[in-house]
Amino acid sequence: MGSIDNAHIAILYRDEYILAVDKPAGIIVHSDGCHTKTLTDQVHSFLIHEAAQNAAHDLQALNRLDRDTTGIVLFSLNKETQPAFDALIAAHDTSKRYLAICCGIPAWKSELIDAPLGRDRHDARRMRISKGGKPAQTRVSVIATRARNSQAPELSLLNVELLTGRKHQIRVHLASLGFPLLGDELYGRPVRRTGNKRYPLMLHACSMSLTHPVTHDRLTIQAPIPRRFHALFPHVTEEDHN
């Protein structure tokens, strides 16, 4: 798990300044200091294989996703223009949308979650709602729901928009309302299916929109919906997260 060879990097967008790839589950974006193979390593190897040495040398991830979150990761390919993209990300001048499946069915159809986040002093892996934390806002809309059955509890398919970009923001915000993500054993609970198999984390970075700081074009990048979402909500389409 987490191993993708050069030929199978899913490129979603590419120009001379940036590259967007569809990150699979089970791989980290940046080095964790443990010599674990990263998505950045994989993309670097891919660029070398394509004889794009200059881009490989300048390669830098502009955003990150958790190990088991899938979807769009944006890379800078040019050190000269990277600061402009860094500033864009830091100023939250990008629109980031996610598909998520949570346990339970909210009473609301749409909700703005406005709750600051800080580190959990009792568990270094976790974040928590904290009055003294950094501002964090998440807009959530319910796309579809399904009743409890022998395979899974009550579930809701969600369209999630990040208005800020804090660590574990979506996971903590939804769990704080009593709707943890399916497959999130850090903030939720294990949910097993037939054969005692665990569900993977049901969080996918499906869309990113930004004004390209070099060309000034409005750019929208989309990642295909993974099979694990279709398995639970067969009728979900790309239109559901727009």
Which residue numbers are catalytic? Answer: 66
- Residue 166 CA to residue 128 CA, distance in Å, equals 11
Furthest C-alpha separation in the chain: 55
- Residue 144 CA to residue 85 CA, distance in Å, equals 35
C-alpha distances (whole Å) from 226 to each of 51, 197, 203 are 30, 18, 10
In 10 A of CB 112, how many CB atoms? 10
For the record, the structure tokens of 140 come out as 């959530």
Q: Is 114 helix (H, G, I), strand (E, B) or coil?
A: strand
- Size of the chain, expressed as the number of residues it contains: 242
- Residue 178 CA to residue 24 CA, distance in Å, equals 27
Helix boundaries (H) for 28-128:
39-49, 53-58, 82-90
